Amino acid sequence: AKSSGRNNFQFYTKEMNATSGERLSLESDLWHALKNDELFLVYQPQIDLRDGTVIGMEALIRWQHPKRGLIAPMDFIPMAECNGLIIPIGIWVLETACRHNLQLQKEGLPPIRVAINLSARQLSDRNFVESVQSVIEAIGLDPHYLELEVTESMVMHNVEDVVVTLNDLNKMGIQLSLDDFGTGFSSLAYLKRFPIDRLKIDQSFIFNCDSDPGDAIIAQTIIALAHGLKIKVIAEGVEKSEHLSFLKKNGCDEGQGYFISRPLTFDDLRMFLLTGKNP
Ligand code: C2E
Ligand code: CA
Ligand code: CA
Ligand code: CA
């Protein structure tokens, strides 16, 4: 048993070396990905649960790697946060999402908001507010159609500075949402200090909201809390018609998830908005 334990250990260290080597090359590849146009955004529609109209979309980043194929954000965003590349990548995301959203409006579609995900490092960057301001001005999107998503753990960190930043963004007319709500450290005491427009109920509470009484009460409580604070509430991870009926019955404002639509390429999104049909 001992010797097999040792073998396992050796095997494990080899694997670890391979992995850190891979990580190194992936890291240098990411430097090139931006300028080689290997990054792109997909958009997941968000609907008003009262009438089913599309009122927004969330931009989600993808990396089409020339050798490794499609890479999910979880496999490169943490690395980009570590090495600082998240700053230029974040600006690219903001520019691209605003440009696409304005293009839809220019094509005559009913205006909707686009939400982008922020990382902790962007929010604490001293130039953040200024760079957001200059991007939306350069592109010419009405800031009311831009939404920034932050998580509880991001705002709990360095609360005083974050309040200033979020207030600046709010004054510009940008919408702010609190992502993955319910999974981070409790921010209930701070909730009223942040100019948050929307809470996003984390998908982990939605998956079994129709069958697990605990998840149901959590979702209902988040909806009541949000409405009590005059904040909108959106559910993510809406995968089944049962989720949709639960959320409608309980007064949730908006929804997003595979049952409504998967994240779509920009062209497929445009088709979805034009025809109401999922390509
Ligand atoms: P998130 O912001 O919580 O995004 C929701 C994730 O759930 C997305 O995964 C989405 O594709 C997936 N999803 C949507 N509907 C459903 C559903 O009905 N069921 C299930 N099981 N999943 C669903 P994705 O695109 O892989 O993104 C993962 C995370 O990566 C995001 O989590 C976000 O934290 C981060 N991320 C994505 N794009 C960006 C970006 O541009 N910048 C930054 N900083 N982070 C990003
Ligand atoms: Ca999000
Ligand atoms: Ca606001
Ligand atoms: Ca989320």
β-pairing, 39-48 vs 54-65, is antiparallel
Mutate to test the pocket of ligand 1, among 60, 150, 183, 256 (most ligand atoms within 8 A of CB): 60
**Ligand 1 near 122 CB (within 6 A):** no
74 lines ligand 1 (CB under 6 A): yes
Tell me how many degrees the CA angle 49-43-188 measures, rounded to the nearest 5. Answer: 60
For residue 85, what is the enclosing H or E element?
none
Q: What are phi and psi of 70, to 5 degrees?
A: -75, 130
Indicate the residue type of 150: V
Residue corresponding to tokens 């989720």: 243
Among 91, 117, 148, the mutation site with the greatest number of ligand 1 atoms within 8 A of its Cβ is 117
pLDDT in tens, 181-232: 988 776 687 888 899 999 999 999 999 999 999 999 999 999 999 999 999 9
Burial of 84-95, coded b for 16+ CB within 10 Å and e otherwise, reads ebbbebbbbbbe
Q: What is the pLDDT of residue 20?
A: 64
Contact 49, 106 (CB under 8 A): no
pTM for the model: 0.92
Cβ neighbour number for residue 37 with a 10 Å cutoff:
8
Res 172: pLDDT? 98
- Whether the CB of 140 sits within 6 Å of ligand 1: no
Task: Please report, in tens digits, the pLDDT of each residue of the chain (279 residues total).
Answer: 334 444 344 444 444 455 666 666 888 899 899 989 999 999 999 999 999 999 999 999 999 999 999 999 999 999 999 999 999 999 999 999 999 999 999 999 999 999 999 999 999 999 999 999 999 999 999 999 999 999 988 888 888 899 999 999 999 999 999 999 988 776 687 888 899 999 999 999 999 999 999 999 999 999 999 999 999 999 999 999 999 999 999 999 999 999 999 999 999 999 999 998 777
- The one-letter code for the residue type at 135 is V
| pLDDT number for residue 24 | 64
Residue 187: the pLDDT is 64
> For ligand 1, is residue 70 a contact (CB within 6 Å)?
no
| CB of 237 closer than 8 Å to CB of 259 | no
**d(C-alpha 125, C-alpha 129), whole Å:** 9
- Ligand 1 pocket check for 237: Cβ under 6 Å: yes
Contact 252, 49 (CB under 8 A): yes
Tokens of 119: 């990382």
Contact, 160 vs 178, CB < 8 A? no
Ligand closest to the CA atom of residue 148: 2
